[in-house]
Structure 1
Amino acid sequence: MAEDSRESQSANAPATDGAAPSAGTSAEPPKKFPKGVVLGKDGKPCRSCTSFAAWASQTKSSLKAASATATPPRDCPPDVEVLGRSTWTLLHSIAATYPTAPTAKEQSDLKNFMRLFSKLYPCWVCAEDFQAYMEKQEVKAGSRDEFGNWLCEAHNEVNRKLGKPTFDCRKWEERWRTGWKDGSCD
């Protein structure tokens, strides 16, 4: 979710120094993976955690040519960037339609959704990172504006980690709910 293609820094995660984890007493040397390929907990490359370009560079040469565009064909499983953009679109859209004065049940449902969502997110590295963020910054669900601002700050935290520009959270509703004041969304 976190649009995070960094290699794992989790203590129980597989090796990420470019080598696959050891398979025990195998005489085979560990397989080398290109920089940026994130291994899943099973020790194999995790497509949901790795950018298409890094993924393609470790697969067949036919995919290497496709990586020149750095975007997978539309009918391929999503890489970490596509998954991240889609996820943020969904979450910001939920914030934009969240009630201005939610009931206690709606607030509880939203917090439960975010907790479960972070546990089920396909990129395990991103999921663990978002869970850690939510432990430090509890989901704010008291109103549409409160949740929208909380989510914007969460998104900005991910952007900072990835070296991407941050968004002015005072404009979250204009971006995700009402459209820009210049009428470009009308």
Structure 2
Amino acid sequence: MAAAPIESPGQQADQADIQPKKLPKGVVLGPDGKPCRSCTSVSSWFAMAKSQTSKDSTAKSPNTTFAAGALTGAATGTSTASTTLGLPESYPSDCPPDVEQLGRAGWTLLHSITASYPVTPSPQLQSETTSFLHTFAKLYPCWWCGKDFQKWMTKEVPRVSSRDEFGKWMCEAHNAVNEKLGKDKFDCERWEERWRTGWRDGRCG
């Protein structure tokens, strides 16, 4: 949910014997020092697979390679290989999500929660909601995204005293990430149209 580092801080030296000496741009390591699928984009993951596969000059069949085992559409019985390395033309829909898919799903969930939040929540629900946000950030599969969200919440404490405040706070959190990624910011005054009521022109039904 933020701009990715190339590797996990402090892990390169400790894990040098078990990880690639050079990682493709955008590949992120997990806490175990190994490439993190949910922290990395599909294109970067494919680049790593291609690099690893091309080095395996003894491979006779794509089914014995990293790329084919993890990335081709073999499970569905379809052939998606686009090169002699066995790499797919597109990412199969039944594969684990990459960092971008995970981010879109995560924001959809969070914004939808704000849309269904009570207009005037009880003190208990406000406390539970704040706890949920911190737990969500800790459990988020992309570790660096989660840490970035935790860091942002230390500066911008969750505003959960009403639906409107919560919705705008979440929109601001999303905009903070969009800014890091070089994307346009969303007008947070229109958050309800986007996530709760639908656009005023009626195109959402």
Alignment of 1:1-186 (within 5 A): 2-8=1-7, 11-12=9-10, 14-15=11-12, 21-23=15-17, 30-59=20-49, 60=66, 62=68, 63=71, 65=82, 69=90, 72-186=91-205
1:7 corresponds to which letter in structure 2? I
**Structure 2: runs of 5 or more not aligned:** 50-65, 72-80
Question: Can you give the 5+ residue segments of structure 1 that lack an aligned partner in the other structure?
Answer: none
TM-score normalised by L of structure 1: 0.85
Identity of aligned residues (%): 55
Name which one, 1 or 2, has greater alpha-carbon Rg.
2
Deviations 1:134-178 (Å, cap 9, x if unpaired)?
Answer: 001000000000000000000000111111111110110000000
1:7/1:36 contact within 8 Å kept? yes
Q: How far apart, in 2, do the equivalents of 1:86 and 1:52 lie?
A: 15
Count how many residue pairs are aligned between Structure 1 and Structure 2.
174
Cα offsets for 1:27-51 (capped at 9, x unmatched): xx95322111001111110001000
Structure 2 vs 1, CA of residues 108 and 53 (structure 1 numbering), >3 Å: closer, same or farther? same
TM normalised by structure 2 equals 0.78
Measured in 1, the distance between the counterparts of 2:142 and 2:105 equals: 13
Whether the 8 Å CA contact 1:49–1:80 is kept in 2: the answer is yes
